Amino acid sequence: MFEIAPHVETVVIAVLALLCVASLSRVWMGQRQPERDLLELKQRIRSWWWMIGLLFVVLLLNRDAGIVFFACLSYLALKEFFSIVPTRLVDRRVLFWAYLAIPLQYLWIWQEWYGMFSVFVPVYVFLFLPVRMLLLGDSQGFIRAAGVIHWMVMLAIYCIGHLAALLTLPVLNPAAGYLGPVLFVLFITQFNDVCQYVWGKRIGKRPILPRVSPNKTWGGFLGGGLTVTLCAGLVGPYLTGMSWSLALAAGAVIAVCGFFGDVVISSVKRDLGIKDTGQLIPGHGGILDRLDSIIYTAPVFFHFYRYFAY
Amino acid sequence: MQRWLKVLFFLLLVRPLIVFVIGLNVFQRERLPRRGPHVLVANHNSHLDTLVLMSLFSWRDLHRVRPVAAADYFLANRWLAWFSTHVLDIIPIRRDGGGNRRDLMADCRAALAAGDIVILFPEGSRGRPEAMQPLKKGVFHLLKTHPEIPLTPVMLRGLGRALPKGEALLVPRNCDVAIGEAMQVGDDSAAFMGALEAAFETLAEQCRGSAWLDEWQ
């Protein structure tokens, strides 16, 4: 059942070791400073165990399980979007059709029907949902509703769907198998979030977008981006079919896209006046709080990889 | 036997359904009562309301939790009546005033005397999503003879959009549950109703994104 490519196995072990280090240092911190409230840190680390554990079990099972897993992620993300943005009550049926696009989109991915996968949401769903809306006969707020619904569908189904699509690309590096590219983009994106945060705390002074996200600084962006680019250059050839120079470029692309994904979801939250998008993941918030950068990095990396590495 | 039917129904069917199809954001969960006698009052927009409120309780406390429901609806036919009494374990109330004319709430009193947690919807019936109807005074009449029994207001938001009145199509959506502080009825009905309405307004503000939703009605 579990046929693990050797490089993937190393990465799995390394990540689990990293989680152990995180858990142990939390316990150590708690013992050294018993008066500090570490509940949120504890929840955060425990949630990381759950997320990474689930991801590994599902991805290592087989390719189809991975595709179903990403379809579920799309569904949860879309549900969270529809719950935080305002939608008209009459559009309930339209939202239902939007959900139905998920199994179809993932069916194309599973069939490796690249042409359909890349046009289904931006063309057919895009054209169909407003038609379903006008059958409801309420044209007040039509433009806003059509715009909002389609934007959510693009982010939650189309963009996240590229993670599943990465599973279906022909394997370039047999030692890393079909999982290599997905793990690469997932971990480089998460590592980028962490690095930009840490560098921002260390040397960040001038905010890039003071009115949207005051915590994002030039120092954090450049320091984190550089670290991530170097790291991608090292890991890229190991996990994917990219040369080290191409992997460096991919790292830079992921750093930039991850930054923008983060900031885009931040401004959605800021517009709605909410701090997080849900309570699904204790210590992290909603699923969109975790997927924000991946929404941007997944499609861009997919096309980068598919175009340059083959 | 009945107790296990209820627990199994919630553990195997309702809980997974609520986690995957609904998804709850619960605010101040620690205010939920652990044991009765206690009254839970909530706004009412959907059939899901009762299921969601009951699913908040641990399976160990679940047999103590009993929703008050309209007899003319939930006992309307044999199958629904069996489900309502054996699985949900409702306290039926005759909205038309039939049965015990002197005291509509005799069964609720009996349940409270037995130490149950009673769920009551003071709006009477399900209204439009995200719009509160005027509250009825049933809670006050129920508790004025036992003013020491506490009640907790709970605001539900979004369920009326997931499954509104008169619709059979459930559209997935995350919903908010804001639990208020326990209060007591006191002896002045007008003052109590005012306090209850104010409590619901405070809870509504805690629910996420409410400003935008109202603007878009």
Angle at CA of residue B68, ends B196 and B137, nearest 5°: 35
Q: What is the mean pLDDT of residues B92-100?
A: 71
The per-residue pLDDT for B205 is 84
Q: HEC profile for A57-105?
A: HHHHHCHHHHHHHHHHHHHHHHHHHHHHCCCCHHHHHHHHHHHHHHHHH
Question: Would an 8 Å CB–CB cutoff place A50 in contact with chain B?
Answer: no
Relative to beta strand B24-27, strand B65-70 is unpaired
The per-residue pLDDT for B141 is 85
pLDDT at residue B217 greater than cutoff 80:
no
pLDDT at residue B145 greater than cutoff 90:
no
Angle at CA of residue B57, ends B54 and B62, nearest 5°: 75
The per-residue pLDDT for A138 is 83
- Which residues in chain A have their CB less than 8 angstroms from residue B46's CB? none
- Are residues A292 and A265 in contact, defined by beta-carbon separation less than 8 angstroms? yes
Q: Which of A237-251, B118-132, B168-182 has the lowest mean pLDDT?
A: B118-132
Write out the two tokens for B28. 């101040």
Write out the two tokens for A293. 């950068």
This model of the complex carries an ipTM of 0.87
The per-residue pLDDT for B208 is 64
pLDDT at residue B211 greater than cutoff 70:
no
The per-residue pLDDT for A90 is 86
Which residues is B151 bridged to in the sheet? B39, B183
Give percent above pLDDT 70 in chain B: 92
The per-residue pLDDT for B18 is 92
- Are residues A108 and A117 in contact, defined by beta-carbon separation less than 8 angstroms? yes
- Are residues B192 and B140 in contact, defined by beta-carbon separation less than 8 angstroms? yes
Q: Which of A177-191, B53-67, B94-108, B178-192 has the lowest mean pLDDT?
A: B94-108
Phi, psi of B29 (to 5 degrees): -60, -30
Residue A219 neighbours by CB under 8 Å, 6+ apart = A199, A200, A202, A203, A204, A205, A206
Calpha distance A55→A193 (Å, rounded)? 18
The residue ranges of every structural domain in chain B are: 2-211
**If DSSP codes are grouped into helix, strand and coil, which group holds residue B189?**
helix
For A278, the closest of B23, B164, B172 (CB atoms) is: B23
Calpha distance B78→B84 (Å, rounded)? 10
| Residue range A189-231, pLDDT digits in tens | 999 999 999 999 988 889 998 888 888 999 999 999 999 999 9
Query: A37 or B182, which is more confident?
Result: B182
Name the nearest CA neighbour of A1 among A54, A55, A60, A56: A60
Say yes or no for a CB contact (<8 Å) between A89 and B217.
Answer: yes
The per-residue pLDDT for A146 is 93
- Which residues in chain B have their CB less than 8 angstroms from residue A138's CB? none
Calpha distance A68→B54 (Å, rounded)? 31
B residues 160-189 lying closer than 8 A (beta carbon) to A: 161, 164, 167, 169, 171-175
Phi, psi of B176 (to 5 degrees): -105, 140
Question: Would an 8 Å CB–CB cutoff place A280 in contact with chain B?
Answer: yes
pLDDT at residue B216 greater than cutoff 60:
no
Name the nearest CA neighbour of A296 among A262, A247, A273: A262
Phi, psi of A264 (to 5 degrees): -65, -45
Positive or negative, the CA dihedral A219, A224, A229, A231 is: positive
For B208, the closest of A96, A141, A274 (CB atoms) is: A274
The per-residue pLDDT for B105 is 82
Q: Number of CB pairs < 8 Å for A and B?
A: 63
| Element (DSSP H or E) covering residue A144 | helix A142-153
If one counts every other C-beta atom within 10 angstroms of the C-beta of residue A36, the result is 10
pLDDT at residue B209 greater than cutoff 60:
no
Overall CATH class of domain B2-211: alpha beta
pLDDT at residue B92 greater than cutoff 80:
yes
If one counts every other C-beta atom within 10 angstroms of the C-beta of residue A65, the result is 14
Which residues is B38 bridged to in the sheet? B117
Residue B194 neighbours by CB under 8 Å, 6+ apart = none
- Are residues A190 and A306 in contact, defined by beta-carbon separation less than 8 angstroms? no
pLDDT at residue B166 greater than cutoff 90:
no
If one counts every other C-beta atom within 10 angstroms of the C-beta of residue B87, the result is 16
Tens of pLDDT along chain A (310 residues) come to 467 889 999 999 999 999 999 999 989 988 888 888 888 889 999 999 999 999 999 998 989 999 999 999 999 999 999 998 888 888 899 999 999 999 999 999 999 999 999 999 999 999 999 999 999 888 888 999 999 999 999 999 999 999 999 999 999 999 999 999 999 999 999 999 999 999 999 888 899 988 888 889 999 999 999 999 999 999 999 999 899 999 999 999 999 999 999 999 999 988 888 888 888 888 888 899 999 999 999 999 999 999 999 8
pLDDT at residue B102 greater than cutoff 80:
no
Calpha distance B116→B36 (Å, rounded)? 5
Question: Would an 8 Å CB–CB cutoff place B215 in contact with chain A?
Answer: yes
Q: Which of A76-80, B1-5, B67-71 has the lowest mean pLDDT?
A: B1-5
Calpha distance A115→B147 (Å, rounded)? 69
| Residue range A169-185, pLDDT digits in tens | 999 999 999 999 999 99
The per-residue pLDDT for B210 is 47
The per-residue pLDDT for B98 is 62
The per-residue pLDDT for B99 is 61
Min Cα separation A273/chain B (Å): 7
| Element (DSSP H or E) covering residue B115 | none
The per-residue pLDDT for B137 is 83
Instruction: Find, in chain A, the residue whose alpha carbon is nearest to that of B213.
Output: A86
- Are residues A168 and A63 in contact, defined by beta-carbon separation less than 8 angstroms? yes
